[in-house]
Amino acid sequence: MSLQRPVDYEQNRLLALRQLNLLDTPPSESFDRITRMASQLFAVPIAAVSLTDSDRQWFKSRVGVEHWEIPRYKACCGEVADTSELLLIPDLQASPFYRDSFLASSGIRFYAGAPLLTRDGYGLGAMCILDTVPRELSEQQLAMLQDLAAMVMSQIELQYAYGRVDPLTGLPNRSQLGEDLQDLARDRHGQTAFAVFTELVDVAGMLSLQRVMGPTYLDELSRAASQGLTASMTPGSYLYHVGQCQYVHLLTDTSEPEAMLQATWLREVMLSLTPREAAAVMVRPAIGIAPFTFGNDSAADVLRMAHSACHDARSTDLGAGVYSREQDIRMQRQFRLLADFHAALEQPGQLHLHYQPRINLANGRCIGAEALIRWNHPELGAIPPAEFIPVVEQTRFARPLTRWVLQTAIRQASDWNTQGLDLRISVNVSGANLQEDDFASRLLEGMDEAMLPGSAIELELTESALVGKGATAARQLAAISAAGVEIAIDDFGTGYSSLAYLQSIPAQVVKIDRSFVARIDHEWRSMRLVKSMINMAQELGYRVVAEGVETVESLETLRNLGCNEVQGYLLSRPLSARAFENWLDARNQSDDTDAQP
Ligand code: C2E
Ligand code: MG
Ligand code: MG
């Protein structure tokens, strides 16, 4: 039985086997196809691709066998791997050596196995066929079995070489992860598992490392990391190299807390390996865990979820975190809104302006309205501005958005003007708009064309949009103010910590944020705060508007504090242009009978 081999043959053979990353991998259709064919060609109940590990025969693919592995001791496939030769045993019961083997005692009588040989001549195992009755094979059939073994080896080599193994680390790559997820889903449909995404350095860090340490440093780091990660693998886990300095572990048969623990441990391992000490500080591993369900989540989704968890984990103390579906859904929705906003600007009917009345507290007269955008998305319905404006403002859509709002507001102002209504429309403008060279000139041209006086429009800008925005912004503000268009500081009190800026901005109105106003009727401190804001702003020459007035008590308090104007649900919610006109009519009529507000 035993053949004279070099002493280190078995050691090298095992190394070759391990390098292929085949052991304990999920079943795969590319191998199963060959095993099924073998069973049919030879009309045998059992066929398998069997790999010989140090102490076991492990089946990469099998037909007609329940178990995944059997002991190596007295396993026929083990002999094939040892000898690298074809083995035919017509009847195990007639073989003095195998008569009492595991196979024989489980009812197998016939065995034939062809060796799976690497190019270097190492026997990895066997392509074997088995039967419960004694059999013979012809020369031609034996040749056929060898052909099948060669096909298995081609598949193994193909898998190893062709786009599935990362040449740098020797680890299976992202394509292999995708395939394994599909294969695992077949056996484990509906089971939960975890994808653990490890990123050694973020993109900026990688660039710095490359500059500081030279172009091959990241390769060194990747190799060191893959060794560390391979060494810390637990049973039921699979490791992939999915991008530069990025790894994914698939963890099966474990719980979320266990996966978390594993992640923090992996992070420790990563922190302890830096191929060259100088760069230790720059290696900042982050780990994201994405729980997923086999068969429900596509490979692309699993990778995306795990990557996004890893990205979020960067900003946490632990440097590790679990994927949050809520966060992801929010991100996806933001992307969708951004993608669809262009159409909203182009197609009529999706965007509207609503108008919320603003009242002079001294005489109760409506002096104008704030224009507030409304988006009626064809599929998602009404989208609140608080959801899409902050996203849109940060893109190149900031310009067309404000252009659309201003055009619509100017048209409306002109319409009300011709109706003899003396109203000022306040328009919310983004900080980005002040960086447009032609912002003021376009606005003023638009107003001129509509024959509107400067007092017909007011611009609302937040503190952060107004302060320290450079020469272009200052020029725009100056031109706008010079034309008599007033500037209001919106959401006053929420943004800037220093009030010194108030001297430098050409604004006339301060709108106290509703978060302060909402509490003045029941919180003494809020009342005092609003009181001092009003006093200070008025002393500096500003008119003060309180936003978000919801109760009669707040209104009375604001009146007593000397606030100039108010706006809020108590008086009216934002209304369509037509509803606003009706509201104004009704108010003017009742105004004749009793004093308001
Ligand atoms: P904002 O400019 O501070 O507008 C006031 C917000 O408070 C509006 O919300 C308004 O409906 C709401 N509001 C008014 N009175 C009350 C009240 O008594 N109680 C409560 N709870 N809320 C009240 P909206 O329309 O959802 O707009 C939110 C924000 O979106 C605006 O805050 C503004 O920053 C932005 N926005 C709205 N329209 C536009 C626009 O056309 N362009 C730009 N750039 N931003 C806009
Ligand atoms: Mg506003
Ligand atoms: Mg506001």
pLDDT digits (tens, 9 = 90+) for 143-164: 999 999 999 999 888 776 667 8
* Contact call for residues 172 and 21 (beta carbons, < 8 A): yes
CB of 550 within 6 A of ligand 1: the answer is yes
pTM value > 0.75: no
Tokens of 562: 């000397």
Residue nearest to atom 8 of ligand 1 (CA): 372
Ligand 2 centroid to Cα of residue 490, in Å, is: 5
Count of Cβ atoms closer than 10 Å to residue 260 Cβ: 18
Q: Are strands 366-377 and 351-360 parallel, antiparallel or unpaired?
A: antiparallel
Residue nearest to atom 29 of ligand 1 (CA): 386
Ligand 3 centroid to Cα of residue 347, in Å, is: 28
Give every residue of the chain whose pLDDT is below 50, as ranges: 1-2, 595
Ligand 3 centroid to Cα of residue 346, in Å, is: 27
User: Quick one: how many helices (H) and strands (E) in the chain?
Assistant: 20, 20
Q: Are strands 543-546 and 509-512 parallel, antiparallel or unpaired?
A: parallel
Give the pLDDT confidence score for residue 277 in this predicted structure.
57
Residue nearest to atom 20 of ligand 1 (CA): 548
* Contact call for residues 249 and 233 (beta carbons, < 8 A): yes
Provide the residue type at 387 as one letter: E
Beta bridge partners of 424: 368
Ligand 3 centroid to Cα of residue 139, in Å, is: 89
Q: Are strands 424-428 and 366-377 parallel, antiparallel or unpaired?
A: parallel
Provide the residue type at 241 as one letter: H
Q: Model confidence over 234-293: pLDDT tens digits?
A: 888 899 999 989 999 999 988 887 888 888 888 888 888 766 655 666 788 999 999 999
Q: What is the crossing angle of helices 325-346 and 299-313, to 10°? A: 100
Determine phi and psi for 368, rounding to 5 degrees. Answer: 165, -160
Count of Cβ atoms closer than 10 Å to residue 453 Cβ: 13
CB of 569 within 6 A of ligand 1: the answer is yes
For the CA of 430, the closest atom of ligand 1 is: 44
For the CA of 433, the closest atom of ligand 1 is: 44
CB of 373 within 6 A of ligand 1: the answer is yes
